[in-house]
Structure 1
Amino acid sequence: MLPAGYKMATVTDNREMRELPSKWEPKEHEEKLYETWVEKGYFTPDAHSPKPAFSVVLPPPNVTGQLHMGHALDHTLIDSIVRRKRMQGYEVLWLPGMDHAGIATQTKVEAKLQEEEGKRRWDYERDEFVDKVWEWKEEYGGRILSQMRAIGDSVDWTRERFTMDEGLSRAVQTIFKKMYDEGMIYRDYRLVNWSPVLETAVSDIEVVYKDVEGELVSFRYGSMNDDEPHIVVATTRMETMLGDVAVAVHPDDERYTDLVGQEFPHPFRDDLTIKVIADDYVDMEFGTGAVKITPAHDPNDYAMGQRHNLDMPIILDSTAHICDTGTRFDGMTREEARHEICEALREQGRIVKEIRPYVHSVGHSERSGEPIEPRLSLQWFVKVEKLAKMAGDAIRDGKTTIHPAALEPRYFDWVDNMHDWTISRQLWWGHRIPIWYGPNDEVVCCGPDDTPPEGYTQDPDVLDTWFSSALFPFSTMGWPDSTDDLKKFYPTSVLVTAYDILFFWVARMMMFGTYAGQMTEGLGEVPFTDLFLHGLVRDERGRKMSKSLGNGINPMDWVEDYGADALRFALARGANPGVDLPLGSDAGSSARNFVTKLFNAARFALSRGADASAELPAELSDADRWILDRLNEVTRDVNELLDDYQFAKANEEMFHFVWDELCDWYLELSKTNFQPAVMGHVLDQVLRLLHPTMPFVTETLWTALTGEETITFAQWPEAAPYDGAEAERRTASRRIADVQKLVTEVRRFRSDQGVKPSQKVPARIDFAAADLAGLEDAVRDIVRLTPPEEDFTPTASIEIRLAEKTVLVEVDTSGTIDVAAEIKRCEKDIAKQDKELETTGKKLSNEAFLSKAPEAVVEKIKTRREVAQAEKERLTARLAQLEKMQ
């Protein structure tokens, strides 16, 4: 059964071919084509195949997620790579999966339960709540997977993985136990980003910074008498002074030399004193040069507290309420305490200065929206020193190559300066930490095959989502077991992702991948051999896409409006390595027009009998030689560019070749001397070259052209010059360049003469003298010039300088133009140029403007003036010519 819109037609070689519909309607073809590909197993590789392997894992999207333009870019580039590799003869695995997204998923489920049942997670038993999350995952999760199908991702759905699958959980427990046993995982009190709403530590990537209007209040510790020892500090978080244990000054600051080492009583707490310490961290030029130190609730203070061995009292509980201070402020929210403490200090006369509003940047929870609280907390950590060194050395030693190389310093800056990683989260959804505690504080770590001792209780925390996703390249293939997939497809060939998760995911995959390679014989030293980092998709003004700006683009809207091929081509055409991609609707409509142009050109060629199976004829026209030579050059360039992950340049070159050279020139030149074999060959190669980026329309056109089942495994084109003497190729190239110049100038000349584009006029051109005799019919057909009759009398002429000769074109426009109307149009155009000359002249004679304007702006205005002057001279000559015709 053929897809809708097709019917059978018979061509000269008696093969049954598909006749194309009159126009390309993506909605009528894309879904059917994709389901056919999947059903026929085109994307399912064989781990026992003798073909060389090429493998990629999909950066696993959150199970809660929907496809956004960043995903669409990611998936388009990966799919372009793997489709090309299939055509190059590789056994290709693109392994899909989803991330359980601990915080994001739990937050959604809690919100749903609160809305529908009026309950929070604490109202359920833990196992009961986790069951609710699994139910939600099955019902609502994975929307992004159907969207992946809609844009054409050629993933192997039979190997789809989820980071909470049993096999992946086994991998998590295995590597955790190994690292714990080696002393690389430990538990300690450290300062973390704390979400009071979610009541868990969150990672840096889950913190967004916003400017807020707050307050900056200065107050004094020590004596209320200015002549006696005291010190003034300032804060935007007055509530934290309940946990102050010191004030730091710079050791070279002479204002405080006599105070260093002194202690002041705390205004509200009898159990704390405020010691003045000296530390190089302090900027003595900022503010009073004195900094209050709250080690348990500020990252810089925490570091200073460690250096000076300070006490670290915790004054905020898990919900950001004041606790354990022994003051009347206990139980207050941080906001309430901020106000009440200010009032209490004012009553004591300690307030020195207040600034309101005071705009400053505050970290907020990306998931729940509230301000993040830096908080000392008992957490699990990974010692990263050894892992980070292995991850760095893998790049330095060339085991993994970063593209573009310009991003290597950012990678090294991260891995060479990494702090120990907080891996525990106070959630219920996720990989439970495999630690059990005994009745007498015994601690046991259990691997996947271990049974915890009877009566022991498991640690309540779960692992950071990044922990399991860092194992994704090898856990998805069966590690820690030895599997056929691991033997065939690991290490993976390339990782494609945006540079913004270079630190959070990529570096951690490198750490765990090198570690697993070291602990597992025959696994491979790195998780991937190439790393391609693309930029972020931004709006057409270069701004980040966000809900607040309302400038986001839903890729599924583009699939609906333009088709998946257009979406993919627009993204690939803008994807330069490591560079952000500005994207607007113009890019979408331009890509859609390109798909339509390709379809219409192919349909025309097929209607004229284009045949990809026929041998090229012995006798080739100049146009044939030229297009074959250009095809060869483009094939060579595109392969070199794609090998270097230069997607934008490769697709731009294909756009130019198809639109400008194949459609606008070769098809027009070949109308008078159509060569089915040449057109069939060129179209065949073009469709193969475009297939990785535009899979749907190329599949449709190629199967119609060749009668084959699918283009999926068609041999990828390589540059291979056609048989022909070099001199003939150079001559053909020069002649076509001359024709292009001739046609362009004649079209402009016709327009100047007021001749309508569709109107034929007689013309005398010595094609033989111009060495273009073989192209005369084609040129005349394109520019609508008929051969002159015996009584031909030219009314206008133009000399056109070609590569080696000058050709005279004479035309007879008598009776074809309205002279009076043309004179009026010409005078109007001259006035327009005069206005431009006046405008640019004023700017270029304005010394104040010239002294301030950037050089590039001035040069642009000079160019505008030069263009206007040349155009005025041309129009003036044309006007004089028209006036003679009256």
Structure 2
Amino acid sequence: MYFRHNTYNSIRPYLCLWSRSISKTSSIIPKPSLSASAYQPLFVEKHVYQEWERNGLFMPENFSNKPTFSIVLPPPNVTGKLHLGHALAGTVQDVIVRRKRAMGHNVLWLPGTDHAGIATQGVVEKYLKSRHNLTRHELGRDKFNKEVWKWKEKHGNTICKQLRTMGYSLDWGREMFTMDRKHVNAVNFAFIRLFQKGLVYRQKALVNWCNTLQSTVSDIEVDNMEISGPTELQLPGYNDPVKFGQLYEFAYRVCDSTDEIVVSTTMPETMLGDVAVAVHPDDKRYEHLKKKRVIHPFTGETLPIIFDEFVDMKFGTGAVKITPAHSKIDYDVAKQHNLALHQVIDEQGIIINSKEFNGLKKYHCREEIVKRLDELGLLKKVTLHTMILPVCSRTNDVIEYLPKEQWFLNCTSLNKKAMKVVENGQLKIQPEKFVKNWMNWCKDDRDWCISRQLWWGHEIPGYKCSYGSNVCWIAANDENGAKMISAKMLDTDVEKIQVEKDTDVLDTWFSSAIYPFSSLGWPDKYSLDYDKFYPLSLMATGHDILGLWVHRMVILGLELTDNLPFQNVLLHGIICDNKGAKMSKSKGNVIDPIDVIHGISLDELKKKTEKMYSDGILSKSEMAKSLEYHRSNFSNTKGIPECGVDALRFTLLSQDIKSHFVNFDVNMCHSNKLFCNKIWQSVKYTHLQFAKLKELPEFTTVLENDLTFFDSWILSRLAHMITIVNTAMEKNDFHLATKALRTFIYNEFCDVYLETTKPGFEHTDQKIGYAHAHTLSTVLNASLRCLNPFMIYLTHDLIPRIPAFEESIIYNFNDYDDKYYKYPKSDEFTKWRNVNLETQVDQFLSTIYLIRQLKGYYNISNKLKPTVCINTTNNILKADINKYSDIVKILTKCDTINFVKDTNKNFVSGQLDTGTKIYVELLGKDMSLAMREAKAKLMKKVNKLEDSLAKVRQKMSSPNYENLSEYTRMLDRENEKSKREELMQLKRLVVDDKLIASDNKET
């Protein structure tokens, strides 16, 4: 079968995507011309997103028969700004949903922002203090919350604008805010329903307490700071630094005995709340103290000596103090031994319930306690000690464990359900290595404290109802409902009930836990969105909140909707800098993605950092570390170069997102901007070549058999790339997809294939030019469609510009609708795969690469055009080089290709394989001098590589190597492979007609 074409009537300036919307707005929205000398991200990206929004391209079809795909964006804090962690998470999701749309799915990607109780309240409190010198207590709760709403309206849209800048294809018409009335009602409904089921209850228990915030905080808001030896920290509320990292040993005297028992502690001030001393039952040192008691040196009370297996006999003296009111471990021990709680530190961090120390701040009290114990002869020693200090991530204050009456969610039965759905495969967690973490969360039977002592947040629909001395707590929609319920419980008339509403708010994680279904209209089961898009198809988020958010969404989804909120979980790593250090303000290595997109000078970075310090966002030490980081990393480039959105997105997903940590390198990002320019230039080149065809006077008939050697090769490589990309995308291995795309487009298509077409377009046989044209059009269309989910702006601009034929001899890109690019499927291109041809071309290209390598090492200028001699026993290679000698000349910048060595010329050589040796004429330099210089250069490089390779291998074979992180070991494996391959390449080169390898040990 063959096709007959008019030369250029069929070239389409806009292929299909958004063609109607572009034609409507082209006079308003200027598009960069392909005549531009280079790719300019600013102009390619300008106004495009607004165009997409206006045309409703991100809205799902409510009554479509297409398969649905639904996902929600993990709601970022309303007061936050986009950071690279957000950029990574958003790009992962956007790539997934864009591909799903292109494959014919009806996609809902729902955006929203979180009210972020603690974070938002803290920001507004700082603002009021700095601008008006007011505290929230001076303002009052109602007025303060009005100020928070004002702040939200003024600053809350910042991150949403930045999400648009990144090109995220969210359905903004369904945008949620977790303080919207719809969500508030859903939160109240969930709380009351769980209370009615007996799962939510109120009791006194030990909680994480932040003195500065004056609130309980969740585990995720507690940073475990490792202290190695004596360390001074500046804490809120203290003028002088407080010393940590010391272990204090002091003695309790045994009643009616001269014996004493020495205990070890890092917090001597809490000994005022001691209720017992504990030792291990098998510790023979203390078996004579069974049923004995000790005397508290300051209260005079006697405390029991208890025996419990939780005690570590090797820690300190093997005896520990039990302070259940201020230690989570001791709290559990106290419950088992029926010991009382004796609270000695209050919510302000002040000592209470102690005669002589009352009123002291806890760390001032520590100094007094140690001093008094020493005076009493009870202090035995103070030694340096490595410890973990719980610190509030919001305030940097040390967390106190206090017994408080709070609301809790009983998680025991819920956890069993959550464990079961993973065990039976209903819920799939990717990567699977995190299943173990999931099971650990599910096995933790501690109940969840869901109340917070904040003013900004979801007010708990809980009421304290009393009649005389009888009190009960009720969850209800209002006071009247609470009275009705409590009257029955207290056996009295409704009008006699006294009601007091709880002033606490719910933990933000509680409201976030119902977000997947509340955002779709739950508890209204007749909601169209809930009916069509729930359960979600996927939940993608960081692995660090697997337990704190994903687990809680699952347990509440199962309990409240009788369904999993989603069946698939994709967990990505934490963003790090190019050295693998986690990005944080304390390290100073945080990079603003907007700075990467638009670029920023070193001076502007400095001004921006100093302003963040003056605004209270950074501390003085954080500012200093940031400035130093900028100087050490961006001085060479005088700042961060402009990279554009597409290069940033592509770079973020060039790393394995399933690793614990995902590194980001600005230099790699800038390299990907150059990759964008390479693509731009390839389309520009295609336009120029099609223009030549346009000038031809007659029709040309082209058959599939007219495709050239290199046309067939690039189509085979295209088929291979599409298979790799589709397989990788299905498994969410985006780094494999980006690697395949870059290798194909940059190295194979642009660097090789485009060069091979140049003689063809100049050839007298028009069929060759037309075959190239069909191939160029097909390859560009297919590869840029595969690239589209990653590089959204560049492909949006270029795909409609790719010249195309009404009917292609290779593949016709007839899109199924006019909204989205049809995504190439692997089976549609398998007919073009030819492995034997690829092997043949690989040998051909390897010859070219070796010629280039020889020219590079001997500094042979491209202007000199040397003669090349190829001595080979490979007849196929010889025939290919002979037939395509013009291609060899173009790709190597050489003049003549021979198969017999001219003895009158000076040659340098390299060994391609056992049957093929390459000779390149040495021009422009003294032969002996060039040989000496090259040999010295090669030997130096070889020796350096061998030493480096030996060090890597030595590290990998060390006894404790397996204790290193998987990410570190992965980098080492890649490093070893890269160095080994580079060394093998170098050892192919020949000096004085001898292999370099003969002068060095074999690899």
Q: Which residue of 2 aligns with 1:40?
A: 55
CA distance in 2, matches of 1:843, 1:46: 58
Q: Which residue of 2 aligns with 1:435?
A: 462
After superposition, give the CA deviation of every residue in 1:492-524 in whole Å (9 maximum; x if it has no partner).
111111111111111001111111222xxxxxx
2:719 maps to which of 617, 632, 654: 632
- 1:95 to 1:833, Cα distance in 2 relative to 1, 3 A: closer
CA distance in 2, matches of 1:733, 1:841: 32
Q: SS of the residue aligned with 2:288? A: coil
2:250 maps to which of 180, 202, 219: 219
CA distance in 1, matches of 2:77, 2:891: 55
Q: SS of the residue aligned with 1:608? A: helix
Q: Which residue of 1 aligns with 2:426?
A: 399
Q: Which residue of 2 aligns with 1:658?
A: 745
| C-alpha contact (below 8 Å) 1:837/1:868 kept by paired residues | no
| C-alpha contact (below 8 Å) 2:911/2:990 kept by paired residues | no
Shift of 1:288: 1.8
2:531 maps to which of 487, 491, 495: 487
Shift of 1:725: 8.7
Is structure 2 residue 474 aligned with structure 1 residue 444? yes
Q: SS of the residue aligned with 1:352? A: strand
2:582 maps to which of 544, 556, 568: 544
Taking the TM superposition and a 5 Å limit, the aligned residue runs for 1:310-709 are 310-325=339-354, 327-355=355-383, 358=385, 360-440=387-467, 441-447=471-477, 451-453=481-483, 456-481=499-524, 482-518=526-562, 525-560=563-598, 561-609=642-690, 617-618=703-704, 619-673=706-760, 674=769, 675-705=772-802
Shift of 1:838: 8.1
CA distance in 2, matches of 1:553, 1:238: 42
Shift of 1:74: 0.5
Q: SS of the residue aligned with 1:275? A: strand
Which moved further from structure 2: 588-597 or 313-322? Answer: 588-597
Which segments of 5 or more consecutive residues in structure 1 lack a partner in the other structure? 1-9, 519-524, 880-886
2:683 maps to amino acid: A
Q: SS of the residue aligned with 1:232? A: strand
Shift of 1:444: 2.4
TM-score by length of 1: 0.88
- 1:869 to 1:331, Cα distance in 2 relative to 1, 3 A: closer
Q: SS of the residue aligned with 2:722? A: helix
- 1:583 to 1:753, Cα distance in 2 relative to 1, 3 A: closer
2:886 maps to which of 777, 786, 789: 777
Q: SS of the residue aligned with 1:276? A: strand
After superposition, give the CA deviation of every residue in 1:848-885 in whole Å (9 maximum; x if it has no partner).
x9999899999999979986994785245699xxxxxx
CA distance in 2, matches of 1:706, 1:319: 72
1:829 maps to amino acid: A
CA distance in 2, matches of 1:601, 1:838: 39
1:337 maps to amino acid: C
TM-score by length of 2: 0.78
Q: SS of the residue aligned with 1:378? A: strand
- 1:165 to 1:298, Cα distance in 2 relative to 1, 3 A: same
CA distance in 2, matches of 1:423, 1:324: 28
CA distance in 2, matches of 1:416, 1:671: 66
Q: Which residue of 1 aligns with 2:286?
A: 256
Q: SS of the residue aligned with 1:353? A: strand
- 1:408 to 1:448, Cα distance in 2 relative to 1, 3 A: farther
After superposition, give the CA deviation of every residue in 1:62-118 in whole Å (9 maximum; x if it has no partner).
112221111111111100000001101111111011111111111111122222232
2:322 maps to which of 293, 317, 327: 293
Q: Which residue of 1 aligns with 2:10?
A: 13
Shift of 1:750: 5.0
Shift of 1:151: 1.0
1:88 maps to which of 82, 103, 123: 103
2:314 maps to amino acid: E
Is structure 2 residue 134 aligned with structure 1 residue 119? yes
| C-alpha contact (below 8 Å) 1:220/1:232 kept by paired residues | yes
Q: SS of the residue aligned with 1:663? A: helix
Root-mean-square deviation (CA, aligned residues, Å) is: 3.7
Q: Which residue of 2 aligns with 1:179?
A: 194
Which moved further from structure 2: 862-871 or 430-439? Answer: 862-871
| C-alpha contact (below 8 Å) 1:69/1:553 kept by paired residues | yes
CA distance in 2, matches of 1:164, 1:293: 42
CA distance in 1, matches of 2:950, 2:595: 50
CA distance in 2, matches of 1:65, 1:850: 42
CA distance in 1, matches of 2:55, 2:319: 72
Q: SS of the residue aligned with 1:234? A: strand
CA distance in 1, matches of 2:978, 2:103: 50
CA distance in 2, matches of 1:11, 1:588: 38
CA distance in 1, matches of 2:460, 2:883: 79
| C-alpha contact (below 8 Å) 2:213/2:395 kept by paired residues | yes
Taking the TM superposition and a 5 Å limit, the aligned residue runs for 1:201-240 are 201-210=216-225, 211=227, 212=231, 213-214=243-244, 215-222=246-253, 228-240=258-270
Q: Which residue of 2 aligns with 1:884?
A: none
After superposition, give the CA deviation of every residue in 1:543-601 in whole Å (9 maximum; x if it has no partner).
21122222222211111121111111011110342442122222212222221211222
1:818 maps to amino acid: G
- 1:90 to 1:289, Cα distance in 2 relative to 1, 3 A: same
After superposition, give the CA deviation of every residue in 1:653-696 in whole Å (9 maximum; x if it has no partner).
11111111111111111112242121011101111100101101
After superposition, give the CA deviation of every residue in 1:728-754 in whole Å (9 maximum; x if it has no partner).
x45643442243133223334555776
| C-alpha contact (below 8 Å) 1:383/1:420 kept by paired residues | yes
Shift of 1:31: 3.7
1:147 maps to which of 162, 165, 168: 162
2:580 maps to amino acid: G
CA distance in 2, matches of 1:875, 1:366: 65
- 1:188 to 1:775, Cα distance in 2 relative to 1, 3 A: same
Q: Which residue of 2 aligns with 1:830?
A: 935
- 1:734 to 1:209, Cα distance in 2 relative to 1, 3 A: closer
CA distance in 1, matches of 2:717, 2:945: 41
Q: SS of the residue aligned with 1:379? A: strand
Which moved further from structure 2: 860-869 or 602-611? Answer: 860-869
- 1:616 to 1:294, Cα distance in 2 relative to 1, 3 A: farther
Is structure 2 residue 846 aligned with structure 1 residue 733? no
Percent of aligned positions with the same letter in both sequences?
35
- 1:156 to 1:875, Cα distance in 2 relative to 1, 3 A: farther
Shift of 1:23: 1.8
| C-alpha contact (below 8 Å) 1:752/1:878 kept by paired residues | no
| C-alpha contact (below 8 Å) 2:351/2:361 kept by paired residues | yes
Q: Which residue of 1 aligns with 2:924?
A: 818
- 1:256 to 1:784, Cα distance in 2 relative to 1, 3 A: closer
- 1:706 to 1:118, Cα distance in 2 relative to 1, 3 A: same
Q: Which residue of 2 aligns with 1:720?
A: 827
- 1:800 to 1:550, Cα distance in 2 relative to 1, 3 A: closer
Q: Which residue of 2 aligns with 1:196?
A: 211
2:991 maps to amino acid: R
Shift of 1:26: 1.3
